[in-house]
Amino acid sequence: MSSNPAYELLAAKLAAKGLSIDEIKGRLKTQCIETPSWGYADSGTRFGSFKQPGAAISIAEKLADAGQVHQFTGVAPKVAMHVLWDLPDDDALQSVPAAAAAAGVRIGSINPNVFQDQEYKLGSFCHHDAEVRRKAIDHSLFCLDVAKAVDSDVISFWLADGTNYPGQDSFIARKHRLQEGFAEVYAAMPPEMLMLVEYKFFEPAFYHTDLCDWGQSLLLCRHLGPQAKVLVDLGHHAQGVNIEHIVATLLDEGMLGGFHFNNRKYGDDDLTCGAINPYEFYLIYNELAAAEEDSRLRCRVEYMIDQSHNIKLKIPAMIQTVMTIQAAYAKALCVDRAELAAAREAGDTQAAELVLVDAYDTDVRPLLAVVRAEMGLDPDPLKAYFASGYQETIESERGFRQGRGLGS
């Protein structure tokens, strides 16, 4: 008799659909999710921040905390760095490789900061003043050197550029400045590097943002070349936008390069992934999983988390997010694609929808528990983390401190 009857029942159900449980487990074991260094530091809103005991302030502490997430989930080996927040001096940069190795992780994307300094009030790459544009470009070129020093092959851009009032600047002039500045950075990239270009439909500018949607990002990337791809942030869309449609389109065009996983109820993106509309998140992952099985679609996609855990504990919130992403992927892998194709071919709308609903309703927790056990992990990462004592240790040793970065 099986020691895990729920898992055996699921395996039998998948086998009846012609799906291989071993193949699904293999794909889950090779999942790779990047966590953000800034997700382990104090953060807040434009109105203020909320300090947590034990929040990381140095890059070494952030890497150590990220190492805990990877240790308990097994699928979060990479950590994104935000250059101005993580590297206040050359000593910090020199310490990164050893600190990452000690934590059992490696550096993922390098994120330039061209929105924080006072000179960027009217923009960075799009600014009317050539000296301000030069500062943004030089900082980005420096970030390429940082990437080389820490063995990263991804540079990820988000611009706050935009205007607050009609007539403030020329849309077209700003577009050309943007393209020219990025072209200089792109030309300096090593051949193996990937440039990700994020977009946001509003904020912090009130009238327009220069990279306001996936089309604007796509146009810029196509001007630059094949190493530039679109980054989709799940919270950077207006209400009702069909994000899974955007994802499918970018996949088909070979232009999807990365994700920032998070969630939003209204306009911004700092809620825990899957907290508001888990079915939508599953539908997005359904497109990603389907693309993995399509030999015509060969996108290199970087899966990243971008959240500010303002009131949740940092490391537990990150573990919860990774587990949510794993569950969405597992459900998407349970879709009977042959049955789905047959329903579509027959024009049976209800049957096609119910194929997706059936996979979404599947309880994948027994499957993920077995996957983790086979990886030598505790079946319940969050419970195991709390039992480890690490949270109590960092709260006791670090206490409340002043750091740097968003909300600090």
CATH assignment of the domain containing 241: 3.20.20.150
Quote the CA–CA distance of 165 and 205 in Å, as a whole number.
9
pLDDT at 35 exceeding the cut of 70: yes
Quote the CA–CA distance of 155 and 175 in Å, as a whole number.
21
Residue recorded with tokens 């670090």? 398
Quote the CA–CA distance of 381 and 395 in Å, as a whole number.
20
Share of the chain above pLDDT 90, in %: 90
C-alpha triplet 12, 17, 21: angle, nearest 5°: 50
- Bridge partners (DSSP) listed for residue 198: 231
Query: Please, are residues 302 and 273 in contact by the beta-carbon 8 Å criterion?
Result: no
Q: What is the number of domains present in the chain? A: 1
pLDDT at 36 exceeding the cut of 80: yes
Q: Please, what is the end-to-end C-alpha distance for the chain in angstroms? A: 55
The verdict on residue 145 lying in a domain is yes
pLDDT at 408 exceeding the cut of 60: no
The verdict on residue 220 lying in a domain is yes
Quote the CA–CA distance of 394 and 391 in Å, as a whole number.
5
Quote the CA–CA distance of 315 and 296 in Å, as a whole number.
38
Split at pLDDT 50, 70, 90, the class of 331 is very high
**What's the sign of the alpha-carbon dihedral 139, 217, 31, 242?**
positive
Query: Please, are residues 105 and 63 in contact by the beta-carbon 8 Å criterion?
Result: yes
Quote the CA–CA distance of 43 and 406 in Å, as a whole number.
5
Quote the CA–CA distance of 207 and 386 in Å, as a whole number.
45
The verdict on residue 340 lying in a domain is no
Domain enclosing residue 151, as ranges: 31-334
The 8-class DSSP code of residue 406 comes to T
Q: What is the average pLDDT across 117-143? A: 98
Quote the CA–CA distance of 125 and 106 in Å, as a whole number.
30
Per-residue pLDDT of 66-83, as tens digits, reads 999 999 999 999 999 999
- Bridge partners (DSSP) listed for residue 263: 271
Residue 1 has a pLDDT of 37
State the maximum Cα–Cα separation within the chain, in Å, rounded to a whole number: 74
Residue recorded with tokens 């395996």? 11
Residue 405 has a pLDDT of 61
Residue 407 has a pLDDT of 52
Quote the CA–CA distance of 200 and 210 in Å, as a whole number.
9
The verdict on residue 358 lying in a domain is no
User: Does the pTM of the predicted model rise above 0.85?
Assistant: yes
Residue 49 has a pLDDT of 84
β-strands 48-50, 43-45 pairing:
antiparallel
The verdict on residue 400 lying in a domain is no
Helical ranges in 53-149 per DSSP H: 59-73, 83-86, 90-103, 130-149
- Bridge partners (DSSP) listed for residue 163: 208
Q: What is the mean pLDDT of the chain?
A: 95
Per-residue pLDDT of 229-240, as tens digits, reads 999 999 999 999
Name the residue among 215, 283, 191 with its Cα closest to residue 243. Answer: 283
The verdict on residue 408 lying in a domain is no
The verdict on residue 6 lying in a domain is no
**Residue 383: enclosing H or E segment and its boundaries?**
helix 381-388
Per-residue pLDDT of 295-323, as tens digits, reads 888 789 999 999 989 999 999 999 999 99
The verdict on residue 9 lying in a domain is no
